[in-house]
A and B are shown apart, each in its own frame.
Chain A
Amino acid sequence: MKDDSPTIVNLVDLDFMDARARLLDLASFLDRVERAGQMDDYRVSALLEALPLLTNAGPDRAEKILLSLSDPTSEPIAEAHTKGAAGAWEANS
């Protein structure tokens, strides 16, 4: 059977600087929002609730963060009043 695995490369060499930049962007976003007194926005709260998932062990961090930001309900809504999505689920929306 053919092996489809990629040849081994150093993934840290490849992507560390990108990950570092994104982490700093997230930190500076939170600093900026806090300076503006906007930390009570439900989207910011959702980000803060997701952050501990980054430090949990296991290979499914991205999946778990997406799940934490998702609408967990199962029934269709009565009517769509908007076309857009916000990126985080607001329980009382």
Chain B
Amino acid sequence: MKYIEPHAHMVSRTTADYEAMALAGCKVISEPAFWAGYDRSSEQGFHDYFSLLTGFEPQRAAKFGIKHFTWMCINPKEAEDVGLANAVIDLIPEFLKRDNVLGIGEIGLNKNSRNELEVLERHIDLADQHDQLILVHTPHLEDKLKGTRLIIDALKNFSNITTDRVIIDHVEEHTVGMVKDAGFWAGMTLYPESKLTARRAIDILEKFGTDKIWMNSACDWGVSEPLATPKAARMMAQRGHSEEMLDKVFYQNPKEFMSQNSKFTI
């Protein structure tokens, strides 16, 4: 089965993971900018990271026949320092011109602080000014419910931002309804411990339908699984879903969302 991995942090993964994903049918990887596991000491560190995402990483993917796209931002875990965040945001317009950059992401909240919210609003404004797609990270565990509400409120404050051009990722059973009701796309992340298991993600699909929703592995340097997405597809098939439905969830839906940026081609 061909599939798109719409959220993976390949800078933290091995070349063997690229090969395994290619063998499993992966045609496209989309890689949002994220927290690398440590705080970068200056905006120059982000400049180097953005250069890697737009230069080396697509070359690495291409060796396995995978197209690589990316998203630009300073993630919410490094947003408490507003001065640094502003300096990083000022770097982003230069990178939005690169061929594999699809938009602003993954922006959002982590601990739901005032500074994180201020930096989120600057990112949304940047997306608004440059007519960019937005990929949103919602907080972890006990912080997710409150953070998702704050994020939706912040997005609604920008009248030019249309819900069709925003995906709110890492939804779970208690947040997917508010995201879908507000009209946004929803992303479900498959993690062995936190976020969703494949079983729960499929439950959500069966309850909320398969429109404007995708699944991803969000594989990174932590406890995560780069083949979580195709494994979830196999489980969907075991639960009686048709090949057509699998194609919609794992290929057509991410293609539909990301194709809103004309740079996205397969």
A79–B114 touching, CB < 8 Å: yes
B240–A85 touching, CB < 8 Å: no
B196 closest partner in A (C-beta): A62
- Which residues on B sit within 8 Å (CB–CB) of A67? 145, 174
B113–A9 touching, CB < 8 Å: no
Count contacts between A and B, CB distance < 8 Å: 96
Number of interface residues of B (CB under 8 A): 39
Given contacts A6-B236, A85-B141, 4 further A-B contacts (CB under 8 A): A69-B141, A71-B146, A78-B114, A80-B110
- Cα–Cα distance between A15 and B116 once the two chains are bound (Å): 40
Query: A77: shortest Cβ distance to chain B, in Å?
Result: 5
A80–B238 touching, CB < 8 Å: no
Query: A59: shortest Cβ distance to chain B, in Å?
Result: 8
A76–B77 touching, CB < 8 Å: no
**In the complex where A63-B174, A78-B114 touch, is A86 in contact with B142 (Cβ < 8 A)?**
yes
A11–B142 touching, CB < 8 Å: no
Interface residue ranges, B against A (CB under 8 Å) = 35, 77, 80, 110-117, 139-146, 149-150, 172-174, 194, 199-200, 203, 206-207, 209-210, 236, 238-242, 245
B145–A66 touching, CB < 8 Å: yes
The reply on A35 being an interface residue by CB < 8 A is no
Interface residue ranges, A against B (CB under 8 Å) = 4, 6-9, 11, 14-15, 18, 59-60, 62-63, 66-67, 69-74, 76-80, 82-89
B148 closest partner in A (C-beta): A70
- Which residues on A sit within 8 Å (CB–CB) of B116? 76, 80
B142–A89 touching, CB < 8 Å: yes
B174–A73 touching, CB < 8 Å: no
- Cα–Cα distance between A76 and B117 once the two chains are bound (Å): 8
| The residue from A4, A8, A77, A85 contacting B140, defined by CB atoms under 8 A apart | A85
- Which residues on A sit within 8 Å (CB–CB) of B140? 84-85
12 residue pairs from A and B, CB less than 8 Å apart: A6-B236, A59-B207, A63-B173, A71-B146, A72-B146, A74-B149, A76-B113, A79-B115, A80-B111, A80-B113, A84-B140, A89-B142
